[in-house]
Chains A and B, each alone.
Chain A
Amino acid sequence: GESVGLHLPTLSVQEGDNSIINCAYSNSASDYFIWYKQESGKGPQFIIDIRSNMDKRQGQRVTVLLNKTVKHLSLQIAATQPGDSAVYFCAELGQAGTALIFGKGTTLSVSS
Chain B
Amino acid sequence: DAGVIQSPRHEVTEMGQEVTLRCKPISGHNSLFWYRQTMMRGLELLIYFNNNVPIDDSGMPEDRFSAKMPNASFSTLKIQPSEPRDSAVYFCASRPDPTDTQYFGPGTRLTVL
On A, residues with C-beta under 8 Å from B are: 3, 5-6, 32, 34, 36, 42-46, 49, 89, 91, 93, 96-100, 102, 104-105
Contacts and interface: CB of A to CB of B under 8 A. Distances in A.
Contact of B101 (A49, A89, A96): A49
A93 B107 contact: no
B103 interface: yes
B99 A96 contact: yes
Given A46-B101, A93-B99, A99-B33, A6 B43 contact: no
Given A93-B99, A98-B56, A45 B104 contact: yes
30 contacts: A3-B40, A6-B38, A6-B39, A6-B42, A34-B101, A34-B102, A36-B104, A42-B106, A43-B4, A43-B91, A43-B93, A43-B105, A45-B104, A46-B101, A46-B103, A49-B101, A93-B99, A96-B98, A97-B31, A97-B55, A97-B98, A98-B55, A99-B48, A99-B56, A99-B102, A100-B101, A100-B102, A102-B42, A104-B42, A105-B42
A93 B33 CA distance: 14
Contacts of A102: 42-43
B42 A44 contact: no
Chain B interface SS verdict (over half): strand
B87 to A, nearest CB: 14
B13 interface: no
Interface in B1-52: 4, 31, 33, 38-43, 45, 48, 50
A44 B43 contact: yes
A96 B55 CA distance: 13
A11 to B, nearest CB: 17
Contacts of B31: 97
Interface string B73-113: 00000000000000000010100001101111111000000
B77 to A, nearest CB: 15
Contacts of A105: 42-43
Nearest to A101: B45
Contacts of B93: 43
Contacts of B105: 43
Contact of B39 (A5, A42, A99): A5
